[in-house]
Structure 1
Amino acid sequence: MSTQSGVVEQFAQLGVPWEEAYGYAQAVKVGNTIYISGQLSHDERGQLVGPAVVDDAGKIIDSSNMALQMRTTYENAERVLAQFGANLDNVVAEVIYATDFQAAFVVAGQVRKAAYGKDRPLCTSTIVGTTRLAFPQQLVEISFTAVV
């Protein structure tokens, strides 16, 4: 599918409410490269899976669902990649954004290995701590670059 710029050959959506509200594609394919927007832990209806506990001010007070959110995020990335006939084997780079760096670092190795199905996933990986993500109960977001 082309856009008016003629650069994007194909794009993917998941049908979640914030795609229209924010105005973006989950992923775009240019040539043989797929650029995937930050994925997060949500179900098919757009409901957050494993939301973090927050205080009255919206500050996260419990990051114990980090592994669950991270696993679900990889599952959503697989759903996006499938729209291009690809999967996590096609990923060459990822960036993990986490509101609790320590909690993410503790589970990331195990979750990543399970998601990619190998002890040494063949993609670059960067993990970044951040104070906040799109939703107050969101612990992690992961963006990807894949090649087909």
Structure 2
Amino acid sequence: MNTREVIIPQGMEILYEKYHYCPGIKVGNTLYISGQVGRDENLQVVEGVEAQFVQAFENVKKVLTAAGATFDHVVEMITYHVTDASQQQFTIPHLPLFIKVKDQYFTNNFPTWTGVGITALSTPGLIVEIKCTAILEN
């Protein structure tokens, strides 16, 4: 049986200590990354659409780095995007901008990607959550 290694990057300790979840868990050579959002180390929501996208990817990067991985190791990405249900248009807002930011992080090996429109995330003001799975070298 593979052992389970909890991955908690510096600055994300509060997620484990206060909210009781792991930013990442490595089992064998597979790294599972919890959904990362556009919050800073003080858990404050970052202002601005592009800045929030960048912060969410930077948070994913912190978990990858703490596990000895890079974006090249990511094989699956699932993103959750808050939609504006009041307009009865259930499309993912700011998708071209999100793709532009994503492409700054995924430059070589592209993962599978599922994008989901939702009505809300855990904290008011959040607009995206990024969950990834990575396969590390043995």
Q: Tell me the TM-score normalised to structure 2 length.
A: 0.81
* Residue in structure 2 matching 1:134, options 107, 116, 122: 122
How many residues matched?
Answer: 128
Gaps of 5+ in 1: 51-64
4+ runs deviating over 3 angstroms: 16-19
Deviation at 1:70, TM superposition (A): 1.2
Q: Give the aligned partner of residue 19 of structure 2.
A: 22
Secondary structure of the 1:103 match is: coil
Deviation at 1:19, TM superposition (A): 3.4
Equivalent pair of 1:16/1:45 in contact (CA under 8 Å): no
Superimposed CA distance per residue, residues 7-65 of structure 1 (whole angstroms, 9 cap, x where no aligned partner): 41343244354433321100000000000000011222222211xxxxxxxxxxxxxx3
Q: Give the aligned partner of residue 73 of structure 2.
A: 90
1:43 has 2:36 as partner: no
Equivalent pair of 2:15/2:22 in contact (CA under 8 Å): no
**CA distance in 1: counterparts of 2:15 and 2:32, whole angstroms:** 18
Gaps of 5+ in 2: 84-90
Q: Give the aligned partner of residue 11 of structure 1.
A: 7
Instruction: Give the aligned CA root-mean-square deviation in angstroms.
Output: 2.0
**CA distance in 1: counterparts of 2:6 and 2:45, whole angstroms:** 27
Equivalent pair of 1:26/1:80 in contact (CA under 8 Å): yes
Q: Tell me the TM-score normalised to structure 1 length.
A: 0.76
Work out the percentage of aligned pairs sharing the same amino acid. 33
